[in-house]
Amino acid sequence: SQELEQSPQSLIVQEGKNLTINCTSSKTLYGLYWYKQKYGEGLIFLMMLQKGGEEKSHEKITAKLDEKKQQSSLHITASQPSHAGIYLCGADGGGNTPLVFGKGTRLSVIA
C-alpha cells in the first residue's frame, strides 16, 4: 500500500520567514493534494498536482511535484500568523483507491 511521509513533523518559524514542508511517497504519485487544517477544525483543500514538474501557487503558498512524481514540497513565503495550522498531503496512488494521507506537519508562526 502507498505511504506518505511528511517532514518536518512540526515547525516553529518567526513571522516573515520562509519555510518548506516536504511530502515523500513510497510509490509513484498519480495525484498529490495539499490540505490545511486549523486547530480543531476541518481540512481545507489547497492545491492539487498531477504532472511531473508541476508547480502551483496561491497567494504566498507554492506547491511543487518533482519530475519523478514521488515527492512534493509546499513552500510558504513571508509566513504570517494566519498560516499556522496543520498541513497534510494526500495521495492518489492510482488503481481506483481512496486518498491516503501523511501524518501532517504542525506549523506555528510566532511574532
E-strand spans in the chain?
A: 4-7, 10-14, 19-25, 31-37, 43-49, 55-58, 61-65, 71-76, 85-92, 100-101, 105-110
Site string for other proteins, 64-103 (x = CB under 8 A): ------------------------x-x-xxx-xxxxxxxx
Q: With respect to other proteins, which residue has the nearer C-beta, 44 or 110?
A: 44
Contacts of 104 (CB under 8 A, 6+ apart): 6, 9, 37, 86, 87, 88
Binder of other proteins out of 31, 66, 73, 77 (CB under 8 A): 31
Q: With respect to other proteins, which residue has the nearer C-beta, 77 or 101?
A: 101
Question: Footprint of other proteins on this chain (CB under 8 A)?
Answer: 1, 30-31, 33, 35, 41-45, 48, 88, 90, 92-94, 96-104
